[in-house]
Structures are given as structure tokens and as C-alpha cells.
Structure 1
Amino acid sequence: MTDHNAELDVALERVVEAARAHLAAVKAAAGRIDDDDVWQAYVHLNNTSYAYDEKLLDAFGEVTPWDVESIDPDEADKRFAQVTGSADGAGADPYPQVVSVRQRRDYRVPSVAALLQVAETARRSSVPEDEDAGPVESVGEAVLELLQAGDGSLSSLDVPELEPLDGLLTVTEVTEPLNLEAFDDADGSGPFSPVDGDLLVGRLDEHPFLPDEDEHDHSGHDHSGHNH
């Protein structure tokens, strides 16, 4: 029993030391997310607690309130590195590319007058009452007004005044992120054009669902991915 007592005393002291080290790491991190020192101290505290609990069970058939399982430090390091990378941001991530999502959706305009009217309503709601909002004079201007009112979301175009046609969404791996300064303001195609090194991951073909179509024969979205 003496040997058990001595082993328990040592195991408990390791728990106390690990708890102090963990607290010191937490204080030093000062709220920093995914801090490596905090993670290492956490794993050590977990494992010393588990070891003490096991020794207490073997010696006296008693357990602690700590419901923990042993953590493999090597496996824990690998998982932590995959999530956080190294301090300089590069880490061990083998896949540092940028992903570009590009979307096109076409619409038919059943009534130009109706579209201009709903766009003018959206414009008036975005300017002070004592200011003249001015008329919306074209279909393109009307669509832009609706998009601006909806913070750029395509869902802002889900209005009766626009009839959705086919659309397309692509996901592409690119080596460089978009640089808007490299394109003239009047260039509407350049920012969407692929360049050497871009890799198409897949595309989603969008077909509009019309209420009078057979629901069992048509779906709202046709996913046709060309994956590598």
C-alpha cells in the first residue's frame, strides 16, 4: 500500500503542476484563439488527470469527478496543426490555394415598367425623405438598384418582376486572389475570365423551377459537377 500511496502522491503532484502550467499558458495567451501553448498545456493536464484517476482506481477502487480519456500527444499535435497551421500562417497546410466562386444567372423581364417601378421603390427607401431619389431609367439600372438594396445578394432579385432563366455557378482553384485594381471599371468580363493555372473544380447548372411544372419531373437545381 505504501508504494501505491507514493505513486498517487507523485501522480497528484503532476496534476497540480499541469494545472498551474495550463493556467499560466491561458493567462499568457490573453484570449488568443488556437494558442499552441494553451493546447499543449491542455493535453498535458488532461493526461496527468487521466493517469491519476487510473492509479486511484487501481489502488482504492475510487475515481475522481474528472471524466476524461487519454489523448495521444502526437496525434493531438497533428490535428492541431491541421486546424491552425504555424504561427506565421503557413503551417503544414499542403493546400494553400485560393478558391474562386463565380456565378451567372439570367432573367427575363416580363414588364419593364413594373421592374422600373419596384426598383424606384427600393431606391426611395434608401435615401432620406427630404432628398430626391430620382427616377430609375433602364432595366440594368433597376437590377443594380435591387442588388444594392439587398447588399449584393442574388436573393434580392427573387421578385415577380424578374423571371429567372438558367444559371451557372463554378468553383475554381486559383493561385492568386482577385485584384480589382487590375481591371478597368468598364471591364465586366476580365475579372471572371480564367487565367493560366486556374483549375475548375466543378460547376452547378441551375434550372429555374416553374410552379406549373411537374414537381416530380423537375428539380430546382441540376448539379453537374466536373470534378478532378
Structure 2
Amino acid sequence: MTDQHGELEVALERVIEAARAHLAAVRAGDGRVDDDDVWQAYVELNNASYDYDQRLLAAHGEVTPWDVDSIDPDEADERLGGGDSTAGADDPHPTILSVRQRRDFRVPSVTALIRAAEVARREGTPQEDDPAPVEGVGEAVLELLQSGDGSLSALDVPELEPLDGVVMVSEVAEPVDLEAFDDDDPVGPFQPGAEDRLVGRLDEHPFLELDGENEAVGRAG
């Protein structure tokens, strides 16, 4: 029984050490997604907790509040791509995808659109500053996009009537280099490269009804 108690104490200390190591890894990771050190520390904490729970059950018929199952570290690394470093070396698909979207709108009322943009600008301007007036429909649309953090959903407003649009997904060799293009270049950032491959195209017809619902037509490349 003494040996069993000693093993239980060792298992508890392992949980404490693993918890501290996990906390240190989380702090060092600083919110990075899929951080390998955080994942490994998590697996060690999980398995140390599971081991302690099982030993506590065997020694005293009691359990911890930690409802965990043992994780095989090797299988876990393989599932997350952290096992064999050569895995995927022969994968024919590149790791960079480019999504290009065009959406057209009709402006039923220029005055109404500019008014909506000026409201958005006032809401995003500190109270001590006097916002400049919105000049033109293009600036109005940019203002609405900025107020929505760049999301196209910010343009889903009554002041804009959606027309046809298109979305294209491509596999590309290199990510876009914005510094290589002038701010007023309307073509360069969207121009496909020589090695880019179009995977598919989605045509959007907001007012084309099919069986009572809006239709989007997809075309595979």
C-alpha cells in the first residue's frame, strides 16, 4: 500500500509540473494558432491527469473532476501534421490559395447612399473631430467597407442594389505582394500569374430565382 501511495504522490507531482509547463507554453505561444509547443504541453498535461485519475481510483476508489482520456502522442502528432516532417512532400497542391471576388451594384439613390456613408463615418470618428463630408458614390462604398472592417457584408444595405457577381478560387505559386503595385493599379493585384491554376468559379445571380430561391452557379476549373 505504501508503494501505491508513493506512486500516487509522484503522479500528482507530474500533473502539477505538466500544468506549469502547459501554462508556460501558452504564454510563450501568445495566441498563435496550432502552436506545436502548446499542443505537446497539452498532451502531456492530459495524459498526466489521466494517469493520476486512474491511480487515485485504484488506490482509494475515488476520481478527479477531470473527464479525460489518454492521448497517444504519436497519433496526435500525425493527425495535426506534426509527425513525419516529410509527410505531404509529394502533395501536388500548393499551400497558397487565392480567392478573387467581384460584386457589382446599382445605386438607386446617390443621395441616400452618401447619407448612409456619412452616418457610418460619424459613428467611427472621435466626437471631438468633425468628419469630412463623403464625396461621391465610390468614397461612400469605401466608407461602408471600412465601417464593416472590410467585409463585403457591409454592403448589404438598402442603398445598394446587388447585381451579378463572380468568385474565383485559384491555386497560386506566390502570395500577392501589395508593395509591387501602385495604389491606383486596378489590374495588377488581381492578374493571375503564369503558374496559377483556376480551380473553380462561382457565378452569383442575386435576382435569378430557381424554385423560389436565389441561385448561384458554380463552374469547376
Q: Name the SS of the counterpart of 1:181 in structure 2.
A: helix
Q: Tell me, yes or no, if structure 1 residue 22 matches structure 2 residue 18.
A: yes
- Please list every run of 5 or more consecutive structure 1 residues that lacks an aligned counterpart in the other structure: none
What is aligned with 1:154?
152
Q: Identity percentage over the alignment?
A: 48
Taking the TM superposition and a 5 Å limit, the aligned residue runs for 1:37-116 are 38-53=41-56, 55-56=58-59, 62-65=61-64, 67-79=67-79, 81-82=80-81, 94=88, 97-116=95-114
What is aligned with 2:186?
188
The residue identity in structure 2 corresponding to 1:65 is: T
Instruction: State the aligned residue count.
Output: 207
Displacement, 1:124? 6.0
Higher-Rg member (1/2): 1
- Please list every run of 5 or more consecutive structure 2 residues that lacks an aligned counterpart in the other structure: 30-34
Q: Which has the higher strand share?
A: 2
- TM-score normalised according to structure 1 size: 0.67
Moved more, 179-188 or 155-164: 155-164
- Could you list the per-position Cα deviations for residues 168-218 of structure 1 after superposition, in whole angstroms to 9, with x for gaps in the alignment? 1223332322211111222111111211332334333222148xx6xx624
Q: Name the SS of the counterpart of 2:28 in structure 1.
A: coil
Q: Name the SS of the counterpart of 2:27 in structure 1.
A: coil
Displacement, 1:103? 1.2
Q: Any conservation in 2 of the 1:107–1:164 contact (CA below 8 Å)?
A: yes
Separation in 1, partners of 2:71, 2:110: 65
- TM-score normalised according to structure 2 size: 0.69
Q: Note closer, same or farther for the CA distance 1:119–1:164 as it changes in structure 2 (3 Å cut).
A: same
Q: Any conservation in 2 of the 1:22–1:38 contact (CA below 8 Å)?
A: yes
The residue identity in structure 2 corresponding to 1:204 is: L
Separation in 1, partners of 2:28, 2:62: 34
Displacement, 1:104? 0.6
Q: Name the SS of the counterpart of 2:162 in structure 1.
A: strand
Q: Note closer, same or farther for the CA distance 1:126–1:15 as it changes in structure 2 (3 Å cut).
A: closer
Separation in 1, partners of 2:156, 2:48: 54
Q: Note closer, same or farther for the CA distance 1:209–1:14 as it changes in structure 2 (3 Å cut).
A: farther
What is aligned with 1:133?
132
Aligned-CA RMSD value: 3.8
Q: Any conservation in 2 of the 1:206–1:222 contact (CA below 8 Å)?
A: yes
